[in-house]
Amino acid sequence: MKRCVIIGASPFCDADVLKKNIRESDFIMCADGGYKYALSAGVKPDMIIGDFDSSEFPENIRCDIVRLPVHKDDTDTMYCVRECMKMGYKDILLLGVTGGRLDHTFANFCTLLYTAENAVNAKIIDGENIIFAMTQGMKENIENMQGHIFSIFPFGCESCKVTLDGFEYPLDEDILKVDTVLGTSNSILSDHAEIILHEGNAICIVG
């Protein structure tokens, strides 16, 4: 099944990042004012979802538009992710969802953990980073990114047990605690680096 791309309304949403990462076959879903960034990059939304409390309601755009109540439990981005999952998507890319308000960026990390817990492959990409979540028992390969910086942090738990292979600082079922910064700024040495999360949850950042 093809991929769903969610475009958020971060003020740091970059048209070049959208053009570089969106495929012609992608289903494009915009969270609230994210539709403006999509249109400015020449990307046509297939669906727009939001409460439009911080941007005007999209007019004269031919796509499905879902207007949400302002008072709700989910962020617009999280609502979009849930909608993608209801539609059956197992591969989700989030663009334009970092920078700007720190609380929303952190909430989007929580959203990544939610997708990982539900066996959905989801990543955030911005101009500097690739961000993804892992849960217990997951294995991730990082291909052809030798020389990039990698960081891993326990997330939503007190600690996680990690194996890292192909990094400057390898780990072998080592424990990372939530109140330490041991997982910060490792270097990827191999074109085929491997992460295994034996216990806990983690947020991973490739920069």
Query: Domain spans of the chain?
Result: 4-127, 134-206
Residue 172: what pLDDT?
Answer: 97
What is the spatial distance between Cα 10 and Cα 127, in angstroms, rounded to a whole number? 12
Contacts of 49 (CB under 8 A, 6+ apart): 29, 30, 31, 32, 65, 66, 68, 76, 79, 80, 83
Return the CATH fold of 134-206: Jelly Rolls (2.60.120)
What is the spatial distance between Cα 165 and Cα 171, in angstroms, rounded to a whole number? 7
Cα R_g (the chain), whole angstroms = 17
Q: What is the pLDDT along the chain (207 residues), one digit of tens a residue?
A: 799 999 999 999 999 999 999 999 999 999 999 999 999 999 999 999 988 877 788 888 889 898 988 888 899 999 999 999 999 999 999 999 999 899 999 999 999 999 999 999 999 999 999 999 999 999 999 999 999 999 999 999 999 999 999 999 999 999 999 999 999 999 999 999 999 999 999 999 999
| Whether CATH 3.40.50.10240 fits 4-127 | yes
Residue 57: what pLDDT?
Answer: 86
Q: Where do we find the tokens 């990390």?
A: 109
pTM for the model: 0.92
In the chain, beta strands by DSSP E: 4-7, 27-31, 47-50, 64-67, 91-95, 121-125, 130-134, 139-143, 149-154, 159-165, 171-177, 186-187, 192-199, 202-206
Residue 75: what pLDDT?
Answer: 93
What CA dihedral angle connects 122, 22, 79 and 37, to 10 degrees?
140
Query: What tokens appear for 74 in the block?
Result: 């989910």
